[in-house]
Amino acid sequence: MRIAFIGDIIGRPGRNHIKKELKRIRNNYNIDFVIANGENASHGFGLTVDNANELLKSGVDVLTGGNHTWDKKKDILTLFQNGSPVLRPHNYPDGVEGTGLMIIELNGIQIAILNLMGIYGMPQVTNPFIVAQEIVKDLHNDGIKHIFIDFHGETTAEKRIIFELLKGKVSAICGTHTHIGTDDYEVAFDTFYVTDIGLTGCRDNVIGMDNHVPIKKALTGIGGHFDIPNSCKTILQLIIVDINEDGKAIDGMKLKFFSDQEPIVNKALVTI
């Protein structure tokens, strides 16, 4: 089984790159299922119903969320209520609408997708490490071995902790949120791990946003509304993980597709 993760999709440039490339990539790389973080897909802040449907029609199977999940509150509630395959971090407090856990069946195998959010610099959530342990234990008790986690977090340490906590117990842990891709993708103890996949969208600016406001804030301390450029060089970044019938990661790779040059493909380090 081959599962792909796409990191934070930033606005129209990210959506357009996915619309143009993803179905071809799925076919060329024999990808069975695609998980993508969509919390920045609507002009960088939140996810609308129209943009969610656009991404699902373009080849994404499940959309995960993070700290910007509620920026388009009316739309996200509609998506949750109509049963769309859209998740929000599972460790929001009890009573919050939506879920961060989805179980689907693919080729006769049950697959769990779990969306979690870190604590540092994030909205109020419960302890993701305790939640993760409890959910993974329950999934194992239900006989579900294929478990994929999007950990949406600000700090590299939190993401590494979740890996050390769950290695050998889940199929893959892919970090999102910083928009900056890391090159520490590896397969260890039967689990694939990467600290952050990196953004899909504009790459020639500041985390997918127009340079003007971030630079002004850095120089003066005075912020403003972040905008996405109308024209930019784009990148589509995704992780591909190969999983055996027991839910164990056996191989993986990182792919970068550019609007202005040839793609780059790097194999993951397989250690244990």
Active site residues: 68
In whole angstroms, what is the distance from residue 177 CA to residue 198 CA? Answer: 8
Find out whether 42 and 11 touch, Cβ atoms under 8 Å: yes
Residues 6 or more apart whose Cβ sits within 8 Å of residue 63: 36, 37, 38, 41, 47, 52, 55, 56, 84, 85, 86, 87
Residues 6 or more apart whose Cβ sits within 8 Å of residue 16: 234
In whole angstroms, what is the distance from residue 184 CA to residue 194 CA? Answer: 6
Task: Measure Cα distances from 50 to 53, 55, 163, 222 in Å.
Answer: 5, 9, 34, 33
In whole angstroms, what is the distance from residue 137 CA to residue 158 CA? Answer: 20
Q: Cβ–Cβ contacts within 10 Å for residue 263, how many?
A: 12
**What is the DSSP code (8-state) at residue 138?**
H
Q: Cβ–Cβ contacts within 10 Å for residue 188, how many?
A: 17
Q: Is the dihedral of CA 7, 69, 128, 3 positive or negative?
A: negative
Q: Cβ–Cβ contacts within 10 Å for residue 50, how many?
A: 10
Find how far residue 85's CA is from the centre of its chain.
14
